Amino acid sequence: MTDTTSAYCGPDRILSGMQPTGGLHLGNYLGALKNWALMQDSGKQCFFCAVDMHAMTMEYDPALLPGRVRGVAAAYIAAGVDPARSAIFAQSAVPEHAELNWVLQCVARMGWMERMTQFKDKAGSGKDAERASVGLFTYPVLMAADILVYKATHVPVGDDQKQHLELARDIAARFNRDFGGGRIILPEPEPVIMPVGARIMSLKDGSRKMSKSDPSENARINLYDDADTIARKIRKAKTDSEPLPETAGSLDKRPEAKNLVGLYAALTGESIDDVLDEFGGKGFGAFKPRLAEVAVEYMAPVSEEYARLLNEKAEINAVLKNGAERARATARSVMTEVRALIGYWNA
Ligand code: ADP
Ligand code: TRP
């Protein structure tokens, strides 16, 4: 594929989002949120949304959704996203996401959608898959709309979102080909993935990612967990009985050990080799208490600020209102351009 982003003349913009489907966890933080805060310093315009429309693709309680959007916004701010520099908003407050979604549904091809692995993971198989919502199937198109409605060029996400970003790029390229008349209207967005921490695994099963939807609370460290809870979850984390190895390659067949070492590296900013230099040959009895200490120390300022903000309803509501207004101004102008290109009625 040609690198069309380099030929794109518009400004660089950053967009990302998380689903308000439950409290955020350390995987969300190390894999994405931390990077959002850092990327604000690039001087690029930033948009960070709570994707409440995506949260409707699985069973959910409408009465809980607005509170969860507020919770996600509070987590963004606690993690260092600055509402003065970045627009923080609810996806549903900017109707242009839904408007572009339809346009892009007519651009995306069935074959592209059928390759999406997240649908297969979330929908299951047989009768379960038949009962899945159509929205769950078309979820990645709405995600493409979230990005392209701002002409975002950079999307900081965890490793699991790579395939969705690839689809967004394909959709943008096809839109440009069909409607751009040789111009790049929608830039192909680049995923921005952290070198360490992009895939934190469950504390109970090193082959599954840490997730909000995991039924076991002990599988994840939540942003709101206090020091004792964090230490207890790490103490109980699944491990094997071997001491830690001296070299990174030897971790490959030991998913739980690899995850805990990766977690230590992501929290301290050290490389995996540095961590093994210090802990290689030592057992988990020595490593886990150090990891717990590091995690508690690292997370305390974030979780304290998060807890404080959860009580500041009015403050968060104001941030979300202001963020939506700013986001909408950009989304509206992109939609005006799109509507003219696709032949919508405009008499
Ligand atoms: P969850 O799977 O917990 O519901 P989301 O799908 O809402 O999380 O993900 C929000 C963001 O956090 C995405 O950018 C995603 O890639 C990132 N992310 C989610 N889980 C992890 C993880 N275990 N490790 C690293 N990043 C993650
Ligand atoms: N699909 C993402 C996830 O599950 C959430 C998401 C929705 C998103 N729209 C987005 C992420 C746009 C980045 C950009 O984590």
- pLDDT tens string 270-294: 999 999 999 999 999 999 999 999 9
The kind and range of the H/E element at 87 are strand 86-90
User: Is the torsion defined by CA of 184, 185, 191, 192 positive or negative?
Assistant: positive
Q: Which ligand is nearest to the CA of 79?
A: 1
Does 303 contact ligand 1 (Cβ within 6 A)? no
- Tell me: pLDDT of 2 over 70: no
Q: What pLDDT, on a 0 to 100 scale, did the predictor assign at position 41?
A: 94
pLDDT interval class at 36 (50, 70, 90) = very high
Nearest CA to ligand 2 atom 2: 18
pLDDT interval class at 33 (50, 70, 90) = very high
Q: What pLDDT, on a 0 to 100 scale, did the predictor assign at position 197?
A: 84
CB 132 within 8 A of CB 122: yes
Q: How many angstroms does the Cα of residue 17 sit away from the middle of ligand 2?
A: 5
Does 168 contact ligand 2 (Cβ within 6 A)? no
Does 213 contact ligand 1 (Cβ within 6 A)? yes
Does 263 contact ligand 2 (Cβ within 6 A)? no
Does 160 contact ligand 1 (Cβ within 6 A)? yes
Superfamily of domain 5-199+313-342: HUPs (3.40.50.620)
> Among this protein's residues, is 122 annotated catalytic?
yes
CA 329 vs CA 5, 109, 142, 307: distances in Å: 23, 30, 19, 31
Does 57 contact ligand 2 (Cβ within 6 A)? no
pLDDT interval class at 48 (50, 70, 90) = very high
- Tell me: pLDDT of 3 over 90: no
Nearest CA to ligand 1 atom 16: 158
* Category of 204 on φ-ψ map: left (φ > 0), alpha (ψ -120 to 50) or beta: alpha
Give exposure, 24-47, as e/b (b: 16+ Cβ within 10 Å).
bbbbbbbbbbbbbbebbeeeebbb
- Tell me: pLDDT of 34 over 60: yes
Domain span(s) for CATH 1.10.240.10 in the chain: 217-308
DSSP string over 22-52:
S--BHHHIIIIIHHHHHHGGG--EEEEEE-T
What's the mean per-residue pLDDT of the chain? 95
DSSP string over 169-215:
HHHHHHHHHHHSTTS-SSPPPEEE--SSSSSPBPSS-TTSB--TT-S
Q: Which ligand is nearest to the CA of 139?
A: 2
Per the model's pLDDT, the better-predicted residue between 107 and 6 turns out to be 107
Domain span(s) for CATH 3.40.50.620 in the chain: 5-199+313-342
Query: In the predicted model, what is the mean pLDDT of residues 225-234?
Result: 95
pLDDT interval class at 210 (50, 70, 90) = very high
Query: In the predicted model, what is the mean pLDDT of residues 266-273?
Result: 93
- Tell me: pLDDT of 7 over 90: no
- Tell me: pLDDT of 200 over 90: yes
Q: How many angstroms does the Cα of residue 121 sit away from the middle of ligand 1?
A: 14
Cα 207 to Cα 255: distance, rounded to the nearest angstrom: 6
Q: Which ligand is nearest to the CA of 22?
A: 1
Query: In the predicted model, what is the mean pLDDT of residues 11-27?
Result: 95
Does 49 contact ligand 2 (Cβ within 6 A)? no
Q: How many angstroms does the Cα of residue 298 sit away from the middle of ligand 1?
A: 19
Q: Please state the pTM of the whole predicted model.
A: 0.94
Nearest to 90 by CA among 324, 319, 314: 324
Identify the DSSP state of 225.
-
Q: How many angstroms does the Cα of residue 38 sit away from the middle of ligand 2?
A: 18
As a CATH number, domain 217-308 is 1.10.240.10
**Helices then strands (H, E): number in the chain?**
14, 5
Does 103 contact ligand 2 (Cβ within 6 A)? no
Atom of ligand 1 nearest to the CA of 21: 4
- Tell me: pLDDT of 6 over 80: no
Contacts of 225 (CB under 8 A, 6+ apart): 233, 299, 303
Atom of ligand 1 nearest to the CA of 211: 3
Distance of CA 199 to the CA centre of its chain: 11
pLDDT interval class at 347 (50, 70, 90) = confident
pLDDT interval class at 195 (50, 70, 90) = confident
Residues facing residue 281 across a β-bridge? none
Q: What pLDDT, on a 0 to 100 scale, did the predictor assign at position 23?
A: 87
Query: In the predicted model, what is the mean pLDDT of residues 40-55?
Result: 97
Q: How many angstroms does the Cα of residue 143 sit away from the middle of ligand 2?
A: 6
Q: Which ligand is nearest to the CA of 33?
A: 1
Nearest CA to ligand 2 atom 15: 18
CB 323 within 8 A of CB 257: no
**239 CB neighbour count, 10 Å cutoff:** 19
DSSP string over 273-309:
HHHHHHHTT--HHHHHHHHHHHHHHHHHHHHHHHHHH
Cα 262 to Cα 253: distance, rounded to the nearest angstrom: 14
pLDDT interval class at 22 (50, 70, 90) = confident
